[in-house]
Amino acid sequence: SLEEIQRWPLREYLASGGHPMWFRSHVRSLMNQHLRRLNHTTLGKMRLPIPGGRHYVMPAAVGRRAGLQGLDVPRGHVQIDDRRATAWVNDDDWLALPDSPKGEGIAAILGGADNDDALWLFPFTDQAETSPDAAAGERKVLAWRSPNQVGEYVLLKPTADSHPLPWVMAAGEALTYPDADSRQLPPRIDSTDPAYLGLVDADSAGDLGEGLDYNVVVMEAAIERAIANQGALGMYCNSLMLNKALYGCLPALPPAPLEDIIDSAVKTGADLSQVVAWNYANSREILTGGTPIPALLHQRLSIDRTDRENRPPRPRTSGFGSNPEHWLDRLERGIQAHIQHIQDERERLAALARPPEAVLQIAEDHPDWVRLGAGLNQAYAAALKSGQTGRFATVLDWARWVAEDYLAHFRPEQRGNILLGALASVYGREREGSDKVAWLAGGSSGDGRRGPGTASDTILALRELAMLNELV
């Protein structure tokens, strides 16, 4: 909708016919979007984009009951319904898969999925010959929940009507079903028998709040239990990641199924103190054994820093000195090299950005606009440099207010001219400057939306110069 387009200044600018290479702010904004997709500021979390999507999973019977006509998913298949963000699966498969040694279905294998769970879906072309009837090159969909325990996944075939979840490449072409090899997956969990220690006692929940009316006293008890269990789930997920990365499998003696720990942390309130102790012991065992650990995973270790006398050895870093390199080290190095390349390209392209002659001509035709625009640039830059926040949460909010206050001293019909002057002031000089003040989005309102900022006035002014088109 028009409202959605105008909610983001860069989107409105591009939709109006603006070129991304006219202004440095737009070059940097577009390149920074890619960096944000890589979560480059929190690379240690390794939340990297891959082809696929995230959809809720439900048996097809639910869709038919809701009125969807012709929804028929064969056994062993999945229908990715992108319109409804749902992965429809076969009703019988939901309860029991034909190839499950334990007679478990999708719901049980995915950790007790109960129709309110979203799955990560990875469509791929399988390079493995998984059976005499299944030649290499068959399309598959790998589905799993997050967080998940090793082996909590299902492999299904997409139906003919299944959405392919295309991955748009840099040149605009869409990639669907990239090659992958299902032989690289660990054994599915229903084909294994983990030796759980049973460290989660369901009775320790004590029927917390069950059958009681809501009141402050009951809530205080629930809050106290939540505080006592705080961190246990995250610690165990970190331990699962460590063991999978280092040894390729579950720990030899896991404390309990992941689903039990999740339920205790967010639902039942069962005591997880023994799980916390197990995590400390597991990390100690890893460190004492001297296994080299990728630097990315050091923060996943559970170390009781309050117990100074019994701290485990410091971690040995894989790929450092004579320690063998881990595949995560190569992945991190490749990602960092890609990030550096994008950052270098961002600055190279930003240096080449230049608006049309109509903006540059303002310096000669309207020197008073340029003088006032230069003052706006200086006021905004000084606010950023000061590091002050005033009554605002961040220095960026403070600098936005300073810019808006500067413009508020002029009549509304003058403000667009001053913003054009600010642009001419920047691009009319030989040295590089920032045009950011002309492209500010408005501050956030109570409902989460942003009001009109300087970018809205700049776009209107560029339309007056016939540089941008009207949106219809």
User: What DSSP line would sit under 167-191, residue for residue?
Assistant: EE-TTSPEE-S-EE-GGGSPPPGGG
pLDDT band at 172 (very low <50, low <70, confident <90, very high): confident
Q: What is the pLDDT of residue 445?
A: 63
Residue-averaged pLDDT of the chain: 90
In angstroms, rounded to a whole number, what is the distance separating the alpha carbons of residues 422 and 317? 51
Q: What is the pLDDT of residue 212?
A: 67
Q: What is the pLDDT of residue 90?
A: 97
Distance, C-alpha 333 to centroid of its chain: 20
Q: What is the pLDDT of residue 210?
A: 65
- Segment 408-423 shows an average pLDDT of 95
* pLDDT tens-place string over residues 8-45: 889 999 999 999 999 999 999 999 998 988 877 778 88
Most confident listed range (107-111, 277-281, 306-310)? 277-281
Q: What is the pLDDT of residue 193?
A: 94
Is 59's pLDDT higher than 90? Answer: yes
Tell which residue, 469, 464, 387, 457, has the closest CA to residue 422: 457
Which residue, chain included where needed, has tokens 């642009």? 423
DSSP letters, 271-313, are --HHHHHHHHHHHHHHHHHT--B-GGGGGG----TT-GGGPPP
DSSP state for residue 134 in the 8-state scheme: B
Is 450's pLDDT higher than 70? Answer: no
Q: 367-386 and 395-408 helices cross at what angle (nearest 10)?
A: 150
Percent pLDDT > 90 in the chain is 72
Q: What is the pLDDT of residue 228?
A: 82
Distance, C-alpha 62 to centroid of its chain: 29
- Segment 165-169 shows an average pLDDT of 91
pLDDT band at 447 (very low <50, low <70, confident <90, very high): low
Burial of 449 per CB tally in 10 Å (0-12, 13-18, 19+):
exposed
- Segment 292-298 shows an average pLDDT of 95
Q: Does residue 189 or residue 169 have the better pLDDT? A: 189
Lowest mean pLDDT among 229-243, 328-342, 424-438: 424-438
- Segment 262-279 shows an average pLDDT of 91
Q: Which amino acid is at 301?
A: L
* pLDDT tens-place string over residues 192-246: 999 999 999 888 876 665 666 777 776 777 778 778 888 999 999 999 999 999 9
Q: Does residue 390 or residue 317 have the better pLDDT? A: 317
Q: What is the pLDDT of residue 206?
A: 66
Is 1's pLDDT higher than 90? Answer: no
Most confident listed range (207-216, 277-286, 299-308)? 277-286
pLDDT band at 309 (very low <50, low <70, confident <90, very high): confident
Is 448's pLDDT higher than 70? Answer: no
Q: What is the pLDDT of residue 354?
A: 93
In angstroms, rounded to a whole number, what is the distance separating the alpha carbons of residues 89 and 87? 6
Is 412's pLDDT higher than 80? Answer: yes
DSSP state for residue 43 in the 8-state scheme: G
Do 126 and 114 form a contact (C-beta atoms < 8 A)?
no
Q: Does residue 467 or residue 226 have the better pLDDT? A: 467
* pLDDT tens-place string over residues 362-375: 988 999 999 999 99
